[in-house]
Amino acid sequence: MSGETVTGWHVYLLLCRNGSYYAGITNDVAARYAAHAAGRGARYTRAFPPVELLGSRPFPDRASASRAEWELKQLPKSRKLAWLDQAT
């Protein structure tokens, strides 16, 4: 993670210790990553802590971020990184 503050709604993708990906939404990427890393995030990331923030994509509002998160979670693992690089 670069340490920069990112504002607005975002869909983010984490690489977890077991090699899996975890996707979520937030309006504060840095704070949410810190919560996951400290064991205060989702149940999944408490069991499989994140080792890296792979990236995030901005969205204009929570509803569009939630839809995008669902779309990301439907993709096979092999296509999730490419999804991060797509323009919104």
pTM of the full predicted structure? 0.88
Task: Band the pLDDT of 87: cuts 50, 70, 90.
Answer: low
- Residue 11 has what pLDDT? 97
Answer for the pair 74, 43: CB distance below 8 angstroms, yes or no.
no
Around 80, how many Cα atoms within 13 Å sit in the side-chain half-sphere? 22
Task: Choose between 3 and 80: higher pLDDT.
Answer: 80
Give the residue from 52, 79, 81, 72 showing the smallest Cα distance to 11. Answer: 72
Task: Band the pLDDT of 2: cuts 50, 70, 90.
Answer: very low
Task: Band the pLDDT of 8: cuts 50, 70, 90.
Answer: confident
| Partners of 16 in the β-ladder | 50
Q: Give me the domains of the chain, ranges plus CATH numbers.
A: 9-85 (3.40.1440.10)
Using one digit for the tens of pLDDT, what is the confidence trace for 60-86?
A: 999 999 999 999 999 999 999 999 988
